[in-house]
A and B are shown apart, each in its own frame.
Chain A
C-alpha cells in the first residue's frame, strides 16, 4: 500500500465547475499535509498546507482534512482553464526532511 494515494484521473470538467480532488494516506506520522500543483513540464509549486483537521481556504482553493480518517480533499471553486494541471497530495513526516507524494491527479478544465 502506498503511503499517499490519489485517483490518477484524468478528471475533465467544464469551466466554472467546482472541482473536488481526493487523497488518502496511511502514515500517522505526517506532521503537515500539502497540496502541490504541477503544470506540464514544470516543477511542482505549493498550493496549500495544513497540520490539523478542518478546512483551510485560500482564494478559490479550500483544503479539507480529516486526520481521524486520514483523508484530504482539495476543492477548487469557479475552475478556470489555467487550473489544468496535475495536483499532488503530500505528507511531511514529523522531524522534517522527508516529504512523501501521491502520484497526482490530472485535471483538465475545458473552456
Chain B
C-alpha cells in the first residue's frame, strides 16, 4: 500500500550514460514533482506536473527530461550523466492542497 514509490532505489553508473528513474503514486493526486537533494541535504525542486502538463521547470539542464504518461506516473530520464548529477532524487505528489506533499523513498544516484 505504498503511496509514492520510486524505482530503482539505488543507481550507480558511469559518466556519459543515460538512465531513467520511475515514480508512481496510488493516492489519486493530480500533481507530481521531482526534487534533487544534494550532499548537503539541500532539497531543490526540479519539475512540477499537473494533470500530465509541465508547470514548473526550474532551469534544469535539458539533459533531464521528465515524462508523465498518466496522472499516476512521472518518470525522469537523464542523458549524458555527469559527476554533478550524483544526488538523491525524490518524487512527490499532492492534490489540491499543495502544501501537503507526499514524498517517495528517494533514488540514490552515484555517477562515477
Q: Assess whether A97 is in contact with B48, with CB atoms less than 8 Å apart.
A: yes
Most B Cβ at <10 Å: residue of A45, A100, A101: A101
Q: Nearest A residue to B38 by beta-carbon distance?
A: A103
Decide yes or no whether A107 CB sits under 8 A from chain B: no
Q: A92-B98, A98-B48 are in contact. Are A44 and B31 (CB under 8 A)?
A: no
Q: Smallest Cβ distance from A66 to chain B, in angstroms?
A: 18
Residue of chain B at shortest CB distance from A45: B103
Q: Contacting B55 at CB < 8 Å: which of A38, A49, A97?
A: A97
Given contacts A103-B40, A103-B41, contact A49 B100 (CB under 8 A): yes
Q: A91-111 CB contact bits vs B (8 Å, 1 = yes)?
A: 010001111110110000000
Residues of B within 8 A of A96 (CB): 31, 98
Q: Which chain B positions have C-beta within 8 A of A34?
A: 99
Chain B residues in the interface with A (C-beta under 8 A): 4, 31, 33, 40-45, 48, 50, 55-56, 58, 90, 92, 98-106
